[in-house]
């Protein structure tokens, strides 16, 4: 099983405004992505590496009512309150080559494996029925792409992910969990009274920008 960073996710209350804010800080352009009718969301996406990308996601005000809680905690009041100040890091997503084995062997509940399609894209990822993010987003969402990776067809950004910055009240426990899930090479958790997530990005000019 191979696990590697797939993409980082910023949440926004308004997709256009949130995308513009990230573009300004990261000195790049993030084109429109598409809609997710199953979840009533839409996004903007841009490549950060050959098979890696940056996503800005928001509830689609034009979407039909959905039959379940939206992914990435977008229906949670705490998420809404956090995003009132602007687009913020929401979660990170890990690409795995064997999502069934990973979910089956995990000592914590990673959620259900759901299948999502959009156009000619199809992917499988872990989503809790509650829509909540495991450990408030400190634990990643896991994804598997049965076909080719979509980042290969995305516009390059000139931006790269320098680090994923995670905190938790019990960092040793979370780092041990990361080792069990074979993702400890992707991020390290440090001590803080509350779980938090942030990203360091390298802009096209070489400047490092921190989002938290």
164-191 residue pLDDT tens: 999 999 999 999 999 999 999 999 899 9
pLDDT at position 108 is 93
pLDDT at position 89 is 97
76-127 residue pLDDT tens: 999 999 999 999 999 999 999 999 999 999 999 999 999 988 888 899 999 9
pLDDT over 90 at 11, yes or no: yes
pLDDT at position 118 is 80
Is domain 3-211 annotated with CATH 3.10.180.10? Answer: yes
52 φψ region: left (φ > 0), alpha (ψ -120 to 50), beta (else): beta
d(CA 210, CA 194): 18
132-170 residue pLDDT tens: 999 999 999 999 999 889 999 898 899 999 999 999 999
pLDDT at position 121 is 85
pLDDT at position 100 is 95
Mean pLDDT over each residue of the chain, to the nearest integer: 95
Higher pLDDT: 67 or 10? It is 10
Place of tokens 């979509």: 150
In this prediction, residue 198 has a pLDDT band, given cuts at 50, 70 and 90, of very high
pLDDT over 80 at 1, yes or no: no
In terms of Cβ atoms closer than 10 Å to its own Cβ (0-12, 13-18, 19+), residue 114 is: middle
């Amino acid at each position: 099983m191979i696990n590697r960073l797939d993409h980082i996710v910023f949440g926004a209350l308004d997709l256009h405004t949130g995308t513009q804010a990230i573009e300004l800080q990261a000195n790049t352009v993030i084109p429109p992505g598409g809609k997710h009718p199953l979840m009533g969301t839409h996004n903007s996406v841009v490549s950060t590496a050959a098979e890696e990308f940056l996503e800005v996601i928001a509830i689609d005000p034009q979407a039909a009512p959905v039959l379940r809680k939206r992914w990435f905690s977008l229906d949670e009041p705490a998420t809404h309150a956090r995003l009132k100040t602007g687009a913020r890091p929401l979660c990170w997503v890990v690409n795995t080559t064997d999502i069934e084995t990973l979910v089956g062997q995990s000592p914590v509940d990673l959620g259900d494996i759901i299948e999502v399609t959009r156009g000619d894209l199809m992917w499988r990822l872990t989503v809790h029925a509650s829509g909540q993010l495991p450990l408030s987003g400190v634990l990643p969402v896991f994804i598997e792409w049965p076909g080719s990776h979509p980042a290969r067809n995305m516009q390059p950004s000139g931006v790269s992910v320098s680090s994923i910055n995670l905190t938790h009240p019990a960092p040793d426990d979370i780092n041990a969990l990361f080792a069990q899930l074979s993702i400890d090479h992707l991020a390290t958790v440090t001590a803080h009274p509350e779980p938090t997530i942030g990203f360091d990005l390298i802009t096209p000019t070489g400047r490092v920008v921190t989002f938290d």
